[in-house]
């Protein structure tokens, strides 16, 4: 009983976050990612930094992983599983050489974030997303949600991180 009330409260909190991110107009379908029904949370670009990453190969990107307060607290306290209300945002930019920086260093060694590629979100709601280990997934390109096919790939890709509640990123102090 107590647990279900807590789940309700947590669910309501997440719903509140998501509702607050819907556009002012009634037509919100275009802003909602498929399958998990997630919108881009307002102010996510101001969230705290969890860590950074770089993928070579076809991705060839620079990544920053940001989190809302629930996410950052959980990372810092090593809380697994992450609590309901956690939202993790993975921002990716093109990985580009900085000629300007290379001149200063006197050799080609400097890489910086180029144009944005996309933003991925991990939203924890153990009730709403009970069928997918408590996580909802979303990907946005140029502020618009990507298609259903992309969103079907999220869960299987994250499954190998099951021991860490499907989250690959570790906190960078």
Q: Residue 160 corresponds to which tokens in the numbers above?
A: 């190998």
Q: Does 66 sit near a copy of itself (CB under 8 A)?
A: yes
- Contact region for a copy of itself (CB under 8 A) — 33-41, 79-87, 104-112, 122-130? 104-112
Q: Which of 34, 44, 64 is closest to 153 using CA atoms?
A: 34
Considering only residues 107-126, where is the footprint of a copy of itself by CB under 8 A? 107-113, 116
Separation in Å, CA 150 to CA 9, 120, 155: 31, 11, 10
- Contact region for a copy of itself (CB under 8 A) — 1-9, 30-38, 88-96, 120-128? 88-96
**Please, which contacts does 165-170 make with residues 24 or more away whose CB atoms are closer than 8 Å?**
165/80, 165/81, 165/82, 165/133, 165/134, 165/135, 166/122, 166/133, 166/135, 167/82, 167/88, 167/122, 169/50, 169/51, 169/53, 169/65, 169/75, 169/88, 169/90, 170/51, 170/75
Q: x/- contact string, 9-48, with a copy of itself (CB under 8 A)?
A: ------------------------------------xx-x
Q: Does 80 sit near a copy of itself (CB under 8 A)?
A: no
Closest contact distance (angstroms) between CB of 157 and a copy of itself is 6
Residues in the site for a copy of itself, rule: CB under 8 A? 45-46, 48-49, 51-57, 59, 62-64, 66, 72, 91, 93, 95, 98, 100-101, 103-105, 107-113, 116, 157, 160-161, 168-170, 172-173
């Amino acid at each position: 009983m107590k647990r279900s009330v807590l789940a309700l409260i947590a669910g309501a909190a997440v719903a509140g976050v998501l509702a607050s991110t819907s556009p002012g107009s009634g037509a919100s379908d275009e802003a909602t990612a498929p399958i998990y029904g997630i919108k881009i949370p307002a102010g996510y670009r101001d969230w705290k930094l969890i860590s950074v990453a770089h993928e070579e190969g076809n991705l060839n990107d620079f990544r920053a992983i940001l989190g809302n307060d629930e996410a950052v607290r959980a990372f810092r306290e090593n809380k697994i599983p992450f609590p309901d209300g956690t939202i993790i945002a993975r921002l990716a930019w093109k990985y580009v050489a900085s000629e300007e920086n290379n001149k200063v260093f006197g050799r080609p060694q400097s890489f910086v974030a180029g144009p944005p590629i996309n933003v991925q979100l991990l939203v924890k709601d153990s009730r709403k997303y009970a069928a997918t280990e408590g996580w909802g997934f979303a990907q946005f390109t140029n502020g618009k949600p990507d298609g259903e096919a992309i969103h079907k790939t999220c869960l299987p890709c994250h499954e190998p991180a099951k021991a860490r509640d499907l989250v690959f990123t570790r906190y960078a102090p």
